[in-house]
Amino acid sequence: MERIDAAQLIAFLQVLTEEMPAHRDRLRELDAQLGDGDLGITIAIGMKAIRDALADFPGEEPGMILAKSGMAFNREAASTFGAIFATALMSAGKHIRGKDAIEVGDLPGMVEAAASGVSARGGARPGEKTILDVLLPMAKALEQQVAAGASLPAAAQAAHGACVEAVAETEQMEAKHGRGGWLKEKSIGIPDPGSVAICLMVECLARFVEGQSP
Amino acid sequence: MERIDAAQLIAFLQVLTEEMPAHRDRLRELDAQLGDGDLGITIAIGMKAIRDALADFPGEEPGMILAKSGMAFNREAASTFGAIFATALMSAGKHIRGKDAIEVGDLPGMVEAAASGVSARGGARPGEKTILDVLLPMAKALEQQVAAGASLPAAAQAAHGACVEAVAETEQMEAKHGRGGWLKEKSIGIPDPGSVAICLMVECLARFVEGQSP
Amino acid sequence: MKKLINDPFEFVDETIEGVLLAHRDHFQRCEGSKRALMRADGPVEGKVAIVTGGGSGHIPVFLGYVGPGLCDAASIGNVFSSPSPDDMLAATVAAHGGAGVLHLYGNYSGDRMNFGMAAEMAEMEDVEVKTVLVRDDVVSAPVEEMDRRRAVAGLFFAYKIAGARAEEGATLGEVAEAAEAAAVNTRSMGVALTSCTIPAAGEPTFQIGEDEMELGMGIHGEQGLRRGKIMPADAVVDEMLEHILADLPFEAGDEVAVLVNSLGATPPEELYIMYRRAHAVLGQAGIGIHRAFIGEYATSLEMAGASISLLRLDADLKRLLDAEAYSPLLPRAHA
Amino acid sequence: MKKLINDPFEFVDETIEGVLLAHRDHFQRCEGSKRALMRADGPVEGKVAIVTGGGSGHIPVFLGYVGPGLCDAASIGNVFSSPSPDDMLAATVAAHGGAGVLHLYGNYSGDRMNFGMAAEMAEMEDVEVKTVLVRDDVVSAPVEEMDRRRAVAGLFFAYKIAGARAEEGATLGEVAEAAEAAAVNTRSMGVALTSCTIPAAGEPTFQIGEDEMELGMGIHGEQGLRRGKIMPADAVVDEMLEHILADLPFEAGDEVAVLVNSLGATPPEELYIMYRRAHAVLGQAGIGIHRAFIGEYATSLEMAGASISLLRLDADLKRLLDAEAYSPLLPRAHA
Ligand SMILES: Nc1ncnc2c1ncn2[C@@H]1O[C@H](COP(=O)(O)OP(=O)(O)O)[C@@H](O)[C@H]1O
Ligand SMILES: Nc1ncnc2c1ncn2[C@@H]1O[C@H](COP(=O)(O)OP(=O)(O)O)[C@@H](O)[C@H]1O
Ligand SMILES: [Mg+2]
Ligand SMILES: [Mg+2]
Ligand SMILES: [Mg+2]
Ligand SMILES: [Mg+2]
């Protein structure tokens, strides 16, 4: 698969929203160590909200599908993560406004747009144990992949690899935002739950574009 | 020992109030099966109340000491049992008003007086799983002992024996009063906690008059 | 036992101390007793006084029902145990405003015997006393033996009705009549999910499985109707209302007040979920709801569970239920 | 998980349904949202509207603070999760009486981000919005980083003060000022003995030993200051007040309002035992107590534990605290 058009994006969201709720307990436990343990439920409810919205998406272009998915997620599963995730998807979606398919070359810009949207909404900077700490390394990896002429599956694979590494690095960071921020140095040693969630989504994407490729 | 004068009664109450709290948990568990589990605490607090009142008793006659002990018990540990026990002691005490010592011949009448006081206060009749079901057999046993010319220790021993048997019989009774009454047939199979408490006190008395006898 | 307490044997006295310090304008001690409190503005001259009492561990029962439009004084005993006759007498004498005293309390044998002694003594001091017993728990005895039934959260309705009647200037006989009308028209049933722990006992009163509930349990942990697996809230409400409605019986066209009461640990959210179902069931049965009361009206320390009480109303009871009343320990929505 | 609920995912909607059915005269839904309620008599023309919101599971926070002399509307989210910007916007627009809207809520990032989005949208609809955040939990960040602190039961004081100021006819700026004055003069700290269980999670949020407590825990189970063996209530109060008093700091001659709040399962008896100690400690420190509030003002489902909040008063705050206010979900003694 070299491009993700609207229909394929909807198909991907179908897979994603089917798979993510399975990580509920792991995310709940991680989030409980840093905060209130709701992230697993947030993801489960938010993913279901996207799933329920899928029927309304045919006819929309990919950018709008992303933006509406973010809004649907945060409508039903509003939370810190919900607001951040909605902002990320809306920013990424805006970046590809008018396009009828997402190509590998769009990916770095989309992820960068998501990162700056998130930073504007929540005021986080790199190294503060938020999803910024996976978005930025991922954007960098994608840039390198695109510069090297990688295929969409290869680029997605590399993005996931960068994510896994980045998540591991969040373990050593001290949280400054959200509930984790109240733990200060006690937050060190636990990976950032929101980043873990993003990483799981990227893994799902990489598998999707791989599986669908000829 | 053939008579219990005021000083000896005080000495006995000292022993009794020291020993009874040890049965706290057993009485609590029994009472929990039939009601609310407070009887162990009631006994512990009430006995302590009598103990604290002992200092005020010297100079009083035995009948008054019994009555005041009952009132002290129910003041600090008011409850069904407290009211019943206070009534029993006041009635028994009234029965020997004016006497400076309790003799074996007084016992049947004291216990009968206690039984009729209790019955008047709480409306219970024999066979309804209350302390009446130990008081009445005990009165009967004491009458027989006195008729046969038994010594005080022998009569007390026999009273205790009658108590033990009577307690066993309460197991098969269906409770009609207090919290046990709400259990109806489910109350069968468990001895009456209040009767167990009385039996333990009589056992203590029997040991006391035995130990003190020449 | 996880509690924020000091010496378990000081539990009751320290609670009373805290209540007195927090609500200085509302309460005063009754002369001669550490365990009896009355309205700060009492005795109210010429008004029938209502005196209640019972074991501790049920706040707002009993102290929380002392106030204008409610009771005049309350004596409280050790946790789940009757107060002493001395304390009841102190409350009776202190609250007496010259128009007689109604002893209004739950039908528990300890309380009955001790209040009985106190009433005898009060009468020797020339205070006229009448007694009304609340006996609303439908599972505690069959309806033909209503006088053996115990009291649970339905106490609230009796206090509210009798308190309003006394405030209207009614005679002792009339206040007792209103209280009895509330008592005979009230039906309740509870459900417990966990035990509570009497501080001085240090261990739970009863054992109950992680997936069990007991329907019909009393507010001291007295056995109920049946032990079973936890059911959804709607099914629990259905079963409770089945017993309650059939008992009076409540019928189509009746108008009622509904009380959904927490036994302690059960949060308001769950009470509202239960009320939602009760509302639907009563609607289906053609029974009108005049007013709903939801919150902690009679608790069992930290027990998890709830009870539902219905009061069948007529015009008089409605007027009395709607009258003003105040106590700082009661949920706001009580009048 | 022992709860009287139905489908855990219907928990919030069924709670709201129950609240609406029970208190029909008090609440109405905000147009366009299932998760936003407002005063039945709102919008109040010409009055500054106060809109709050946050996660469910904390009753009376948030819905319970809607009423005359309090907030005008509240939007609530899933258990312990922020409401959506759509619901917040619906509440904001519905409650707006033409004099602007104060967004007054706890300092949680989810709420802040979502309310931020809602405020942006409201301004596009020409509704003037100001925001004040409550941040009273002393252990959540050092005092120099007050703006990172989270909110706990101190919300009550902010609602009460701001609500009274709005009722006086003050402008949006003045109401925001009063709210901020309440916020900066409030300090709180909690202690948890048990975890609660989010219905949809089905398992306790955290594990805690049978003999342990956590001092300073947040109302969603956020880690506190220290985990340790359970101490007597007096020692717990002493340690909490040590942190609270030193933080503002409160000083001899100050006058305060005291709030002793149950997190859910802790019964009123224990709150009064704690208040008794707090009263003594404050007395010793020369701090006057203007008024005490004791009960459930901000809960965490069925968590066992309590919090203490102090509000330092001046003449204005005293007047606003003492003003009338009403909500059927609040303890009676709130004004
Ligand atoms: N300011 C922020 N910017 C970006 N991401 C953030 C920010 N604050 C929190 N997050 C992310 O959100 C996750 C927590 O989400 P969630 O559980 O909804 O928050 P909470 O329950 O604390 O409100 C964190 O693991 C982190 O990745
Ligand atoms: N009417 C009665 N007459 C005599 N004894 C009674 C009566 N009712 C109860 N008792 C005795 O009191 C005991 C229970 O006492 P207690 O635990 O104080 O009662 P409760 O907690 O049920 O109020 C019973 O075991 C029984 O022996
Ligand atoms: Mg979280
Ligand atoms: Mg008992
Ligand atoms: Mg008892
Ligand atoms: Mg959260």
3-state secondary structure chain D: CCCCCCCHHHHHHHHHHHHHHHCCCCEEECCCCCCEEEECCCCCCCCCEEEEEEEECCCCCCHHHECCCCECEEEEEEECCCCCHHHHHHHHHHHCCCCCEEEEEECCHHHHHHHHHHHHHHHHCCCCEEEEEECCEHHHCCHHHHHHCCCCCCHHHHHHHHHHHHHCCCCHHHHHHHHHHHHHCEEEEEEECCCCECCCCCCECCCCCCCEEEECCCCCCCCCCEEEECCCHHHHHHHHHHHHHHHCCCCCCCEEEEEEEECECCCHHHHHHHHHHHHHHHHHCCCEEEEEEEECCCCCCCECEEEEEEEECCHHHHHHHHCCCCCCCCEHHHC
Chain position carrying tokens 């129950």: D18
Coil, helix or strand for C255? Answer: strand
CA distance readout (Å), D166 to C203, D63, D72: 50, 18, 10
Cross-chain Cβ contact C220/B45 below 8 Å: no
Q: Are residues D174 and D296 in the same domain?
A: no
* pLDDT of amino acid D333: 57
- The chain-wide mean pLDDT, for chain A, equals 94
pLDDT tens digit sequence for B84-143: 999 999 999 999 999 999 999 999 999 999 999 999 999 999 999 999 999 999 999 999
The pLDDT of residue C1 is 65
User: For residue D318, what pLDDT is reported?
Assistant: 98
Asked whether C31 and C53 are in contact (CB, 8 A), the reply is: no
Cβ-based neighbours of C284, under 8 Å, separated by 6 or more = none
Mutate to test the interface with D, among A29, A30, A79 (most CBs of D within 10 A): A79
pLDDT value for A35: 79
User: Does C106 lie in the same domain as C129?
Assistant: yes
**Same-domain status, C169 and C230:** no
Tell me the best of B38, B47, B84, B171 to mutate to test the pocket of ligand 2, counting ligand atoms within 8 Å of each CB and taking the most.
B84
Q: Nearest C-alpha of chain C: how many angstroms from D200?
A: 14
Contact C242, C295 (CB under 8 A): no
- Beta pairing class for D129-134 and D101-106: parallel
Collapse the DSSP code of B214 into the 3-class scheme (helix H, G, I; strand E, B; otherwise coil) and give the result: coil
Task: Report CB contact under 8 Å: B79, C220.
Answer: no
Helix axes C268-284, C233-247, angle to 10 degrees: 50
| Whole-structure pTM value | 0.90
Six-digit token string for D97: 């009486």
Partner C, chain B 184-213, Cβ-Cβ below 8 Å: 186
| pLDDT tens digit at each of 335 positions of chain C | 699 999 999 999 999 999 999 999 999 999 999 999 999 999 999 999 999 999 999 999 999 999 999 999 999 999 998 999 999 999 999 999 999 999 999 999 999 999 998 998 898 789 999 999 999 999 999 999 999 999 999 999 999 999 999 999 999 999 999 999 999 999 999 999 999 999 988 889 889 999 999 999 999 988 899 999 999 999 999 999 999 999 999 999 999 999 999 999 999 999 999 999 999 999 999 999 999 999 999 999 999 999 999 999 999 999 999 999 999 999 875 44
Q: How many separate domains does chain C show?
A: 2
For domain B3-211, the CATH class is: mainly alpha
- Whether residue C143 lies inside any domain: the answer is yes
Query: Do D39 and D97 belong together in one domain?
Result: yes
Chunked mean pLDDT (size 10), chain D, 335 residues = 93 98 96 97 98 97 97 95 94 98 96 93 91 97 94 98 98 98 98 94 90 94 92 98 98 98 97 98 98 96 97 98 94 61
Residue A180 vs residue D73, higher pLDDT: D73
Query: Within its chain, how far is the Cα of D333 from the centroid?
Result: 16
Say yes or no: D43 and D164 in one domain: yes
C-alpha torsion angle, residues A187, A191, A197, A199 (rounded to 10) = 150
Q: Are residues D14 and D151 in the same domain?
A: yes
Sign, CA torsion D61/D266/D210/C218:
negative
Cα(A63)–Cα(A68) distance, integer angstroms: 9
For residue C110, the ligand 2 atom closest to its alpha carbon is: 23
Ramachandran angles phi, psi of D77, nearest 5°: -100, -165
Pair C177, C234 in one domain: no
Residue D206, domain member (yes or no): yes
Pull the structure tokens for residue D68: 């005359």
User: Is residue D2 assigned to a domain?
Assistant: no
Is the Cβ pair D296, C296 closer than 8 Å? yes
A80-95 and A107-122 helices, crossing angle to 10°: 140
Domain boundary, last residue among D123, D156, D184: D184
Q: Is residue A31 in contact with ligand 1, taking CB distance under 6 Å?
A: yes
Predicted local distance difference test score (pLDDT) of residue A212? 59
| Alpha carbon separation from A78 to A195, C1, C298, D149 (Å, rounded) | 17, 37, 36, 21
pLDDT in tens, A162-174: 999 999 999 999 9
Residues of chain B with pLDDT under 70: 212-214
Q: For strands C305-312 and C186-192, give the pairing.
A: antiparallel
Q: Does the beta carbon of B87 lie inside 6 Å of ligand 2?
A: no
Ligand 5 centroid – CA C271 distance (Å): 27
Any alpha helices (H) in chain A, and if so which ranges?
6-19, 24-34, 39-53, 62-76, 80-95, 107-122, 132-147, 152-170, 193-212
Question: Rounded to whole angstroms, how far apart are CA atoms D121 and D143?
Answer: 33
Rounded to 5 degrees, what are φ and ψ at C173?
A: -60, -40
Q: Does A97 touch chain D (CB under 8 A)?
A: no
Task: Kindly state if the Cβ of B62 falls inside 6 Å of ligand 2.
Answer: no
Question: Which of these three, D163, D184, D205, is where a domain ends?
Answer: D184
Query: Distance between CA B47 and CA C172 in Å, rounded?
Result: 39
With residue B84 as reference, give the H or E element that holds it.
helix B80-95
Burial (Cβ within 10 Å: 0-12, 13-18, ≥19) of residue C23: buried
Final residue of a structural domain among D184, D200, D234: D184
Cα gap D321→D315, rounded to integer Å: 10
Considering the domain architecture, whether residues D163 and D278 belong to the same structural domain is answered as: no
Residue type present at position B137: P
D243 is an active site residue: no
Cβ atoms of residues B204 and B15 within 8 Å: yes
Question: ipTM of this complex > 0.90?
Answer: no
Range of the domain at C128: 8-184
The residue type at B49:
A
Q: Is residue D223 part of a domain?
A: yes
Q: What confidence tens digit (pLDDT) does each residue in A9-56 have?
A: 999 999 999 999 999 999 999 998 987 788 999 999 999 999 999 999
Residue C227 CA to residue C283 CA, distance in Å, equals 28
Compute, in angstroms, the gap from residue B130 CA to the centroid of ligand 4: 12
CATH of the domain at C110: 3.40.50.10440
Q: Do residues D113 and D36 share a domain?
A: yes
Rounded Cα distance between D2 and D302, Å, is 10
Say yes or no to pLDDT of A183 above 90. Answer: no
Check whether A192 has a pLDDT greater than 90.
yes
The verdict on C299 and C313 lying in the same domain is yes
State whether C326 and C199 are in the same domain: yes
Only one residue has tokens 């198909």, namely A11
Q: Do residues D65 and D52 make contact, with C-beta atoms less than 8 angstroms apart?
A: yes
**C174: enclosing H helix or E strand:** helix C172-184
Q: Is residue D3 part of a domain?
A: no
Residue D326: per-residue pLDDT: 93
| Residue C2 domain-assigned (yes or no) | no
Report how far residue D151's alpha carbon sits from residue D187's, in angstroms, rounded to the nearest whole number.
10
Asked whether B193 lines ligand 2 (CB < 6 A), one says yes
Same domain, C17 and C136: yes
- Write out residues 162-221 of D within 8 Å (CB-CB) of A: 198, 200-201, 203, 205-206, 218, 220-221
Domain ranges of chain A: 3-211
